[in-house]
Amino acid sequence: MSKPLKIAALGFWHVHAGDYSRQAQEHPGTELVAVWDDDAERGQAGADRFGVEFTGDLDALLAREDLDGVTITTATNEHRDLMVKVAQAGKHIFTEKVLAPTVAEAEEIVAATDAAGVKLTVSLPRLAHGYTLAIREVIDSGKLGQLTYGRVRLSHNGAIPTDGAEGWLPQRFFEPKTAIGGALTDLGCHPVYLTQLFLGSTPDTINATYRSVAGRGLEDNAVVVVGYGDQTIGVIEAGFASQNPFTIELFGTEGTLTYTDAGNVLTVNGEQSPVPEHGKDPFAQWVDHINDGTRADENIARAVELTRLVVAANDAADAGRAIAYS
């Protein structure tokens, strides 16, 4: 058996930093060896949590010949510069969504990783979930006919104060410079890429309504409506201000599909349908791409299109009207 890939966690800014560090420790093909963060206190806490070395010297870390790859969970506005630097150092990259604040930056990241021959994978986990696999099969089977409407909603209550506290989601998630956007840019990524998967990545128009229930600086309640040339409508909902079951609804000329994670129930044309087990998660896919020397073509393409739609939604929200999608 080959030696485990040595992985460093770059940044504990994002709440998923611990999840990916845990995966690096638990996956049989990887070993977490270090943590870096530009905030020494935050980084040291992350390193202590996982029992590995903390370093504040990024250049020295990336110069290590025994380091194979990194997970990146820094502030969103740091993604482009950091990932290009990592790629040029020859290290593989697993990163939190969104890939970058702009499409141009996302494309620069992809170009840099391709030029360096390193493997890039973006965390888009719900693409591999069992209900998504089942829904793709239903759509491909034609049971719903031509799709005319889709709605995907995902929310949690991370912005809402409890017991006198501000809410479990850190305030840095509401800082415009570092987070880029609020509920839609973070949690809303999942409904975005699922809507793109089910209905298509190239709508004609996009409209967005953002509101801030908790008043913490960025939207914690968001609805995005996309319109397609074939007259299909997609509705993307995300929030940090309510705790609702994750929901998917698809309507077509010949049928209806609904899914809720309350009980993991998929219903197709009035009858419950089996939900398979999840496929390989993105981290495991990344490890396979490194070992097999393959490129995560679909993942990368969807990550760029995810960035494109998030940017367009933020533009539409700023404009206060529907805009052409490009």
> Which fold, 5-123?
Rossmann fold (3.40.50)
Spatial neighbors of 232 by CB under 8 A, at least 6 apart, are: 147, 148, 149, 150, 199, 200
Question: What pLDDT is recorded for position 162?
Answer: 81
pLDDT in tens, 265-282: 999 999 999 999 999 999
d(CA 283, CA 28): 12
Q: What is the DSSP letter of 27?
A: S
Give the CA-trace dihedral at 290, 294, 299, 303, to 10 degrees. 80
Query: What does the pLDDT read at residue 120?
Result: 99
Q: Looking at residue 243, what is its pLDDT?
A: 86
| CA–CA distance, 23 with 236 (Å, rounded to integer) | 29
* Regions of the chain with pLDDT less than 50: 1
Residue type at 73 in one-letter notation: T
> What are the domain boundaries of the chain?
5-123, 126-281+308-324
Q: What is the pLDDT of residue 166?
A: 82
What is 126-281+308-324's CATH topology? Dihydrodipicolinate Reductase; domain 2 (3.30.360)
Contact 213, 159 (CB under 8 A): yes
- Which residue type sits at 107? E
What is the model's pTM? 0.97
Separation CA 220–CA 211 (nearest Å): 6
Per-residue pLDDT at 1? 46
Q: Specify whether the CB–CB gap between 209 and 317 falls below 8 A.
A: yes
